[in-house]
Amino acid sequence: MKQNRLPNSELSVSALGLGTMTFGEQNSAQDAFEQMDLAHSAGINFLDAAEMYPVPPRPETQGATESIIGDYLRRRGTRHQWVVATKVAAPGGPVDGLRPDMALDRRNLFAACDASLSRLGIDCIDLYQVHWPHRNTNFFGQLGYQTEQAESATPILDTLSALNDLVQAGKIRYVGISNETPWGAMQYLHLADKHDLPRAVSIQNPYNLLNRSFEVGMAEVAHRAPLPLLAYSPMAFGTLSGKYREGRRPEGARLTRFERFKRYTGPAADAAIDDLLTIASAFGLSPAQLALAFVRTRPFTASTLIGATTLTQLEQNLASVELAWSDELEAALQAHGETHRYPCP
């Protein structure tokens, strides 16, 4: 599988990366081992985790994903063959209370990093990402930006300084950001250059055929900075496979088990998905493979993070790298994007 070098780093990540947020909730440790074995055999070298995983986050399962990955690396003895990425949580997102007085400051970052290292059973994290911002801004599909005079926030310079200390301590190799805005991304880059601090080498944001908002504000940053995309939710919670159409809720599927995941549902999403299924059928393609290939072939994408709950799903996702992109496919999907503008932000 093709690997892409992350600029300003020595890291090369596979065109497809393995997302692991189901490990410890929808997937058992045995399931996870089988997925990692299959991914590795297919040429994937990039594992993406987070301290808050699995999802949906619960106190009883928090950290289980990293523990499963750590057990796998120890048992297989393949640590050197993987680029291991994880994330530190900020307050104000889908999880809170991991640590007293959560913030993206030095105390919290060191505590979170040490706990992740322990669960992963490794000496150094290859890519340590800030999972979401700690300031008043929009992420996870929010609209209606609100300005507030008083806010809980950690200055980005404080976060970068703490991340630098983690690099100097040998606990992490490189820094990444996630769920960031163009303003936030540029602040990270500007402050890193101004104060000789670690420069972010990647941004992990949502990107799929129902949510192409990355192209509006972030694509130019990704290209010019450069700050390549590690695209998450390329299948829009699995909705782009078509399995949820007409109100279907397959047994064991994410939207069946967890009603909280509504970001990629609704009339606008349904209309966009129907047209995508028509396009896939016209080209004789699997809808899932079409959706993944679109994300993979964007010039600003370094790795497309795939996730699955079964080996069959994972095999189908892996096969998307074999899909040869064409001008006709590009034209069809650009026309789709003009018809269905941002059905799911």
pLDDT in tens, 151-193: 789 999 999 999 999 999 999 999 999 999 999 999 999 999 9
Is 76 in a helix, a strand, or coil? helix
Say how far apart CA 197 and CA 200 lie, in whole Å. 9
Please determine, for residue 79, whether its predicted confidence score (pLDDT) is greater than 80. Answer: yes
Say how far apart CA 339 and CA 227 lie, in whole Å. 29
pLDDT in tens, 85-104: 999 999 987 777 789 889 99
**What percentage of the chain exceeds 90 in pLDDT?**
84
pLDDT in tens, 297-306: 999 999 999 9
User: What's the token pair of residue 184?
Assistant: 């936030």
pTM of the predicted model, to two decimals? Answer: 0.95
Catalytic residue among 53, 232, 244, 264: 53
Residue 248 — pLDDT band, cuts 50, 70, 90?
low
Helices (H) and strands (E) in the chain, counts: 12, 10
**CB burial readout 259-277, b (16+ within 10 A) else e:** eebebbbeeebbebbebbb
Cis upstream peptide for 228 (omega within 30°): no
Give me the pLDDT at residue 250, please: 65
Architecture of the domain spanning 3-204:
Alpha-Beta Barrel (3.20)
Is 207 in a helix, a strand, or coil? coil
Residue 23 — pLDDT band, cuts 50, 70, 90?
very high
pLDDT in tens, 111-145: 999 999 999 999 999 999 999 999 989 998 888 88
Cβ(25)–Cβ(55) below 8 Å: yes
Cβ(206)–Cβ(180) below 8 Å: no
Say how far apart CA 84 and CA 88 lie, in whole Å. 14
DSSP 106-155: HHHHHHHHHHHHHHHT-S-EEEEEE-S-SSS---TT--S----SS-----
Q: Is 145 a catalytic residue?
A: no
Instruction: Write 105-111 long-range contacts (CB < 8 A, 24+).
Output: 105/154, 105/158, 105/159, 105/162, 106/158, 106/161, 106/162, 106/165, 109/159, 109/162, 109/163, 109/166, 110/162, 110/165, 110/166
Q: What are the boundaries of each domain within the chain?
A: 3-204
CB atoms within 10 A of CB 67: 18
Give me the pLDDT at residue 94, please: 76
**Angle at alpha carbon of residue 90, lines to 51 and 98, rounded to 5°:** 55
Give the helix/strand (H/E) hosting 68: helix 64-76
- Token pair 């694509």 is found at 219
Cis upstream peptide for 226 (omega within 30°): yes
- Residue 88 C-beta-side C-alpha neighbours within 13 Å: 33
Say how far apart CA 6 and CA 15 lie, in whole Å. 11
